[in-house]
Amino acid sequence: MSVAGGMQRDIRRLGLFTGKRLLALFLTILVGVYLTILIANMGGRVDDLRMVQIQGQVSEMVRADPSFQDMPSEERNALIQRQVDLEVERLRLDQPFILRSFDYLYRAMLLDLGRAEQMHSDSGSRQVYDIIVERLPATLLLFGTANLLVFFFSVYIALSLSRRYGSAMDRSVIALAPSSAAPAWFYGIFLILLFAFVMPILPSGGMVQAPPPENPLLYALDVLRHMLLPVLAMFLSQIFISIYSWRTFFLIHSSEDYVEMARAKGLPDKLIERRYILRPTLSPIVTSFLLMLIGLWSGAIILEQVFSWPGLGTLLFQAIGHRDTPVIIGSVVIFAYLLALTVFLLDILYAILDPRIRIGGD
C-alpha cells in the first residue's frame, strides 16, 4: 500500500512538474517566435523590398502581355496600379505591421504556417508546412545519425580510456582534442576534396543520384552512400572533443570515495563501471546529449549547404534568398519547436533520472 502510494505521489509530482515546464516552455516559444517575426521583418525593410518586387513583377507581366500592347500608356499604368493594389491586399501589406505580426504569431503557434510567397515544395504545394515537412526527414536523418554515432562512440571510448588513463591512446586523444575547433563543414571541404575529386569514389553532394533508383533497397543504399561524407565530417569535428570531455568527466567521477570503496571490495571492473560510474552520472550524460542536439540544429545550415543536402538548413537559406517571409518564419518556428521539444525532453528525463526532483517539490 505504501509502495503504491509512493508511486502515485511520484506520478502526481511528475505531472505537476511537467505541466509547469510545459507552460514555461510555451511562453518561451511564444516570445522567441514573436522576436523572430520582428527580426524577420527587419523594421519594415522586408515590406519595402517586397513592394518593389511586386511592382516590378506586375509591370513586367503587363508589358509582356501582347493584348495590352496597344493600350495607351496612362491606361496601362492604371492597370498596373490596380494589379499592384490587388497583390498588396492579397499579401495584406496595406495593414500595419503590428496587426500582421500578432496574426503571424497566432498562426505560427498553431503551426498554421500559411502559404509561401515564392517557393513551393517538390510536390508542388505552396503550403509552408508542406515545404518544411518535406525537408525535415533529410535533416533528421543526417543529424540524427551523426549525433548518435558521436555520442555512443565517445562515451564508450571515453570509458575505456578512463580505465587506461595515461596510456599512449589516452595521450593521443588529448592531443587531438583541439582539432574540434574547426566546424564540421570545414572537414567537409577536405573530405569532398579527398573522396570526391582526388579519389572519386563518393559523390560530392546531394542526397540521391539523379535519377533516383526505383528499387527501394537501392535507393536506401544510394542515400547511405551520399550520407557517408557529411556524417564523417560531423563525426570528425565532434568526436575528439567529445571523448576528451567524457574521459575527464569519468576520471573525476571514478576518483569518488564510493567508487574507491567498490574497488576495495574487489568488485569487477565492468560492474564498477555500470553501477558505480555510469548510473550516478546518467543525468549529466543525457543532458549533454540533448544539449549537443540543440547546438547542432542551428549549425546545420552550412554543412547542408556545402554538401547540397536538401534539408531544413538549405531551405532556410533559399527562403532568405527569395525574401519569402512566411517560409523564414516557418522554419524558425520549426527550429524553435524542435529546440523546445529537446529542452522539454531534457526536463522530463531529468525528473525521471534524478530522484531529487521526483521526491522534492513542495
Partner 1 sequence: MGRFSALSELRNYPSAIVGLGIIAFLVSLAVYTVIAIPYDDALDKWRGGEQWRLYPVNASPVWADRLWGGRAPETQVISSRDADIERESFEGGERLFIPLRVDYQAGDFPSEMTVFFDADGHEREPFARLVWRTPDGREMPLGGSRIASQDRRSISQDRALEQRLGLVPHIGLLATPDSEAGAARVQTGEYTLMLDVIVFQEDADFQAELVLFGRVHGLAGTDHQRRDLMVALMWGTPVALAFGLLAAVGTTITTLVIAATGVWFGGWVDATIQRLTEVNMILPLLPILVMVGTLYSTSIWLMLGVVVALGIFSAGIKMYRAMLLPLRQAPYIEAAQAYGAGNTRIILRYMIPRILPVLIPTFVTLIPTFVFLEASLAVLGLGDPVLPTWGKVLNDAQSESALYSQYYYWVLSPAFLLMLTGLGFAMLGFALDRIFNPRLRTL
Binding to partner 1 (CB under 8 A) within 187-246 occurs at 189-190, 192-193, 196-197, 204
Number of H helices, E strands in the chain: 15, 0
Q: Does 147 bind partner 1 (CB under 8 A)?
A: no
Candidates 353, 158, 147; CA nearest to 253 is 158
Do the Cβ atoms of 304 and 226 come closer than 8 Å? Answer: no
Q: Cis bond leading into 211, ω under 30°?
A: yes
Nearest-angstrom CA–CA distance, 178 and 174: 8
Nearest-angstrom CA–CA distance, 209 and 328: 28
Q: Does 294 bind partner 1 (CB under 8 A)?
A: yes
Taking the complex as a whole, the smallest distance from the CB of residue 305 to partner 1 amounts, in Å, to 6
Taking the complex as a whole, the smallest distance from the CB of residue 131 to partner 1 amounts, in Å, to 16
* Cβ closest to partner 1, residue 17 vs residue 185: 185
Taking the complex as a whole, the smallest distance from the CB of residue 212 to partner 1 amounts, in Å, to 23
For CA atoms 336, 339, 342, 343, the dihedral sign is: negative
Q: Does 179 bind partner 1 (CB under 8 A)?
A: yes
Residue type, 103: D
* Cβ closest to partner 1, residue 16 vs residue 252: 252
- H or E element that contains 204: none
Number of residues this chain uses to bind partner 1 (CB under 8 A): 59
Nearest-angstrom CA–CA distance, 164 and 159: 9
Residue recorded with cell 519569402: 324
Q: Which of 62, 105, 233, 343 binds partner 1 (CB under 8 A)?
A: 343
Binding to partner 1 (CB under 8 A) within 8-67 occurs at 24, 27-29, 31-32, 35-36, 39-40, 42, 45-46, 49
* Cβ closest to partner 1, residue 183 vs residue 213: 183
Nearby residues of 103 by Cβ (< 8 Å), 6 or more positions away: none
**Residues lying near partner 1 in the complex (CB under 8 A):** 24, 27-29, 31-32, 35-36, 39-40, 42, 45-46, 49, 165, 174-175, 177-183, 185-186, 189-190, 192-193, 196-197, 204, 248, 251-252, 255, 291, 294, 297-299, 301-302, 305-306, 316-317, 320-321, 323, 328, 331-332, 335-336, 339-340, 343
